[in-house]
A and B are shown apart, each in its own frame.
Chain A
Amino acid sequence: DVKVTQSSRYLVKRTGEKVFLECVQDMDHENMFWYRQDPGLGLRLIYFSYDVKMKEKGDIPEGYSVSREKKERFSLILESASTNQTSMYLCASSHPVGGSLLGTQYFGPGTRLLVL
């Protein structure tokens, strides 16, 4: 079974703090993703990575950065947390399109972040 784990299920941080969210996958997937999920907006892509040390901005990268030093680990960083970053954060991983799994993404359980 594919397993994607996230370092925390719940986090409470203060405005201005630097926040690290960690994601680890155990299936040797090339692609990894960070989304935020807000009611009525579905999932919106923050950043993704298709290889170690490679990253690309998604639809809403402002206020976030990422790090991928190892293939299995993808970190999301909130440089200076703000209240509008209170949200559910979901990590996902996948093989590239063209492989037999044709792009299916596997998701972690999510981290619910509250910024006070």
Chain B
Amino acid sequence: AQSVTQLGSHVSVSEGALVLLRCNYSSSVPPYLFWYVQYPNQGLQLLLKYTTGATLVKGINGFEAEFKKSETSFHLTKPSAHMSDAAEYFCAVSPIKAAGNKLTFGGGTRVLVKP
């Protein structure tokens, strides 16, 4: 069974500072990896995903994530936080071959951006 661990349920950053959200997964084979963002009172929106190829993945709004197979990690970063980045972020994994491409989500990390 797959599992996803997000370190830190809440992260507080200053505007302009680095945003780093950690995600580690447990899987017998490297899965597909996703980061989703949820703004207040909205559904989830895809930020970026890793499937194959380059391990550094760029997403929307200046975010990027790096897949490190040896560390079973897929940490999300943004060099400079903006007030609009305040949201909850979810890491998710999906088996490469699975009926319905089920996602397994981490517990989420809520980001607070201080002016």
Residues of A within 8 A of B (CB): 4, 31, 33, 35, 40-45, 48-50, 56, 58, 90, 92, 94, 96-97, 102-110
- Determine the chain B residues whose CB is within 8 A of the CB of A35 once the complex forms: 105
Query: Measured between alpha carbons, how far is A55 from B104 in the docked complex, in Å?
Result: 18
Cβ–Cβ contact B9 & A4, under 8 A: no
A86 → B minimal CB distance (Å): 17
Q: Which residues of B contact A (CB under 8 A)?
A: 4, 6, 9, 32, 34, 36, 41-46, 49, 51, 90, 92, 94, 96-108
Asked if B101 contacts A40 (CB within 8 A), the reply is no
Task: List B contacts of A4 (CB < 8 A).
Answer: 43
The answer for the CA separation of A42 and B9 in the assembled complex, in Å, is 10
- B94–A97 CB distance below 8 A: yes
Report the bound CA distance from A104 to B106 in whole Å: 16
**Which residue in chain A gives the minimum CB-CB distance to B46?**
A104
> B43 touching A42 by the CB < 8 A rule?
no
Contact between chains at A97 and B101 (CB < 8 Å) = yes
Contact across chains for A94 and B101 when beta carbons are under 8 A apart = yes
B46 with A56: CB separation less than 8 A:
no
